[in-house]
Amino acid sequence: MQLDFQPIIESRMHDPFSLLGRHPLGEGKCRFHTYQPQAEHIRILSTHGEWLELTADADFPGVFAGLFTEDLLPLHPVLEIETAEHHKYQITDPYSFGPVLGELDLYLFGEGKHYDLWKVLGAHVITIDGVEGVTFAVWAPNASRVSVVGDFNNWDGRRHPMRKLFIPGLSAGDFYKFEIKNRDTQATSVRTDPFGRSFELRPNTAAKVVSDEAFQWTDQFWFKARGQRDWMHAPMNVYEVHLGSWKLTDKQFPTYAELAEQLIPYVKDRGYTHIELLPITEHPFDGSWGYQTTGYFAPTSRFGTPEQFKQFVNKAHEAGIGIILDWVPAH
């Protein structure tokens, strides 16, 4: 059967897994296809440790193919790519990995009852079959095609079309966006991740992959004390603050670390029990004071990293100070 890769080349393929990657053919054979428009030559590493040349498809520029016995091709093949400039690098084929969203996730999402979507949509650092990388997933109901783009593919939307995609070799700190083709107009736009947990410093808007390693909280006593507090009768004194304006200098905003060292003792010495933060979710315009939120899952990068924000909250709790967040959608 002749395979049609034109939708891949024209960036209008909604299901790249049906064509790309490793596919069994029966009788112990399998085919392998990859689309690498930047490549001049591609070799694939066999289970015997030999580099085998893939064939450039004469009908579909950028498509490289090979026919192998199944025992010769690893489950997750490694490719050596050589560009026209003779630059060589290796990747593990992303289309050899299965879906990154489980059936239960899809079921709950369809019912509108998935209350932990931030754990499955967006970008997450994980390990699959011993291979480290990053999963990407986004909900785009009006798209005919979505690709993830970043420095890792020269922001080329042809390279990583996706439904849900695991890209080996990526890690925390990588920047990315989604390139989306509208189903009705066929217009293409590049958008940041609505579930991004960290972003570039404004005015740039790319999302940043965040490590999922657990933060070591040391505020257990705070939660124990909160549970024992007579909240109906105990005094509560709230210090409301816009972090970007507090002790603002001509040079720069205060960092989360500086705020932990200065704001927390300032508040505690004056008898406050809580700090209410004006919106610290990511936003593009300083003058909005955070009320034009674009990243609901990300503390703004103006003051530091998500890890540093956690440290700020942890230090506040250690000092007996609660944190209240001004949550924009509630307005």
- Domain ranges within the chain, ordered by starting residue: 6-92, 103-208, 220-330
Report the topology of domain 220-330.
Transcription Regulator spoIIAA (3.30.750)
pLDDT of 281 over the 80 cut: yes
Per-residue pLDDT of 109-135, as tens digits, reads 999 999 999 999 999 999 999 999 999
* The CATH classification of domain 103-208, taken from the options 2.60.40.10, 1.10.10.10, 3.90.700.10, 3.40.50.1220: 2.60.40.10
CATH of 6-92, one of 2.60.40.10, 3.40.50.300, 3.60.20.10, 1.10.1450.10: 2.60.40.10
Across the beta sheet with 322-325, what order do the strands follow?
238-241, 274-277, 322-325
**What are the counts of helices (DSSP H) followed by strands (DSSP E) for the chain?**
5, 21
CA distance 314 to 273: 15
Residue 154 has pLDDT above 90, yes or no: yes
Distance CA 255, CA 41 (A): 48
Residue 25: the pLDDT is: 92
Query: How far is residue 157's CA from residue 169's CA, in Å, rounded to a whole number?
Result: 18
* pLDDT value at residue 13: 85
Return the ∠ at Cα 251 (arms to 248 and 254), rounded to 5°: 45
Instruction: For residue range 180-224, list pLDDT tens digits in order.
Output: 999 999 999 999 999 999 999 999 999 999 998 888 999 999 999
* Residues above pLDDT 90, as percent of the chain: 82
319: pLDDT strictly greater than 70: yes
Q: Are 278 and 240 contacting, i.e. CB atoms less than 8 angstroms apart?
A: yes
Sheet order of strands, 78-83 included = 51-53, 39-45, 78-83, 88-92
Query: What does the pLDDT read at residue 329?
Result: 83
